[in-house]
């Protein structure tokens, strides 16, 4: 089973210069390869594979001597990344690959092999760079696969290591109505469970908006190109990073709890991209990070042999009475509690939706994705 471990790096100034050079080299090769693919397709109506692009690297190094100072395999990985981008474009309609910019907030490069991790001394040895101090807070056993070194605007560097621990993916556990929980996500409450539990929305971005606005205002007043402006940029980046880390920590704790306490989790498919077009709610929807919630639930469920059930986005989970099935067509977003005119049951909007999501998910004809049950 493949797992990724991410660690903080503490490079020296010499290491930082080498990282910057490696970021630039990989970005240069990626942009060159993308330019060549576009030109060849327009002029000759054929496509270049990553093997064709790798054959161009020796000649490219002759014209650009500085590329020889970087890890050759990292440059080849740039061509693999480009091929993956085109695969997503054709198969998943993810958008045509774009040229990489040095102004992007996160820069990275891959190292497929010839690196090592020393847990005793808390160091990582990287080709063409040397031994770098790291905070190896978690040990792992297995075969080292590709490592990714990344840097952000806050001046922090990390390494993500893909490890094959040799374990098989566990078989899915059996689940039934008692061991399945329905989850309805929202803005007022981050999530409402079918057992009546409500998880509050921490609203990290909203809580930090005042401090963030002050830092951004200070940044706007600094002279362009000055050292003070660069320092102000770092302060803004660190504040954004703090918010992102708070959100990730909350999501990891929430998803781990849901996975450990239930055999199956039922969720609703959401058109988040379409919902973001509502400019009144876009900021709050971005802050709550539903996509990351669903992503974490899926991979953690696979690790633990649990199941994530998804119902269609057009299922009227909010408007249907979970007791008698009455369809309340008049319900609006402002209604938080309503009474069923048929059975007189009083419903909390979110709890009712969570119960319906669970019911719909356990009906196979309504499932989009169903894990095996044995």
292 in active site: no
* List 83, 184, 287, 315, catalytic entry: 184
Q: Which two tokens stand for residue 238?
A: 């660190």
Q: Which two tokens stand for residue 281?
A: 């709610």
Q: Which two tokens stand for residue 63?
A: 């014209």
Long-range contacts, stretch 184-187, CB < 8 angstroms, 24+ apart: 184/268, 184/317, 184/350, 184/351, 184/353, 184/354, 184/357, 185/267, 185/268, 185/270, 185/288, 185/290, 185/293, 186/350, 187/281, 187/284, 187/285, 187/288
Q: How many residues does the chain have?
A: 374
350 in active site: yes
R_g (Cα) of the chain, nearest Å: 25
Start-to-end CA span in the chain (Å): 19
* List 77, 83, 315, 350, catalytic entry: 350
Nearest CA to 146 out of 73, 82, 87 is that of 73
Q: Which two tokens stand for residue 130?
A: 């040397």
268 in active site: yes
* List 268, 302, 315, 348, catalytic entry: 268
**Spatial separation of the C-alpha atoms in residues 215 and 234, rounded to whole Å:** 10
Q: Which residues contact 113 (CB under 8 A, 6 or more apart)?
A: 73, 144
Largest CA distance in the chain: 80
Catalytically annotated residues:
184, 268, 350
């Amino acid at each position: 089973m493949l797992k990724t471990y991410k660690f903080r790096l503490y490079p020296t100034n010499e290491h930082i210069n080498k990282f910057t050079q490696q970021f630039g080299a990989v970005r240069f090769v990626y942009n060159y390869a993308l330019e060549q693919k576009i030109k060849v397709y327009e002029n000759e109506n054929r496509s270049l594979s990553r093997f064709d692009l790798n054959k161009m690297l020796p000649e490219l190094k002759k014209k650009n001597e500085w590329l020889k100072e970087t890890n050759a395999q990292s440059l080849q990985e740039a061509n693999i990344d480009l091929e993956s981008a085109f695969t997503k474009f054709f198969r998943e309609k993810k958008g045509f690959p774009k040229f990489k910019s040095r102004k992007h907030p996160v820069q990275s490069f891959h190292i497929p092999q010839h690196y090592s991790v020393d847990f005793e001394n808390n160091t990582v040895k990287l080709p063409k760079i040397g031994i770098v101090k790291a905070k190896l807070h978690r040990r792992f056993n297995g075969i080292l696969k590709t490592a990714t070194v990344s840097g952000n605007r806050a001046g922090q560097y990390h390494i993500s290591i893909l490890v094959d621990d040799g374990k098989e993916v566990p078989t899915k556990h059996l689940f039934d109505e008692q061991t399945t929980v329905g989850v309805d996500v929202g803005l007022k409450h981050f999530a409402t469970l079918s057992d009546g539990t409500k998880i509050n929305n921490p609203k990290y971005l909203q809580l930090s908006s005042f401090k963030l606005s002050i830092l951004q205002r200070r940044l706007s007043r600094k002279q362009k190109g000055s050292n003070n402006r660069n320092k102000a940029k770092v302060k803004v980046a660190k504040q954004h990073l703090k918010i992102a880390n708070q959100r990730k920590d909350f999501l990891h704790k929430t998803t781990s709890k849901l996975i450990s306490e239930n055999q199956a989790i039922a969720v609703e498919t959401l058109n988040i991209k379409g919902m973001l077009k509502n400019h009144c709610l876009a900021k709050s929807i971005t802050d709550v990070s539903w996509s990351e919630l669903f992503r974490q639930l899926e991979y953690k469920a696979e690790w633990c042999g649990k199941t994530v059930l998804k119902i269609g986005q057009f299922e009227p989970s909010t408007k249907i009475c979970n007791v008698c099935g009455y369809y309340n067509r008049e319900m609006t977003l402002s209604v938080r509690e309503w009474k069923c005119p048929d059975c007189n049951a009083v419903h909390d909007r979110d709890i009712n939706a969570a119960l319906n999501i669970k019911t719909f998910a356990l009906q196979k004809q309504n499932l989009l994705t169903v894990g095996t049950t044995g």
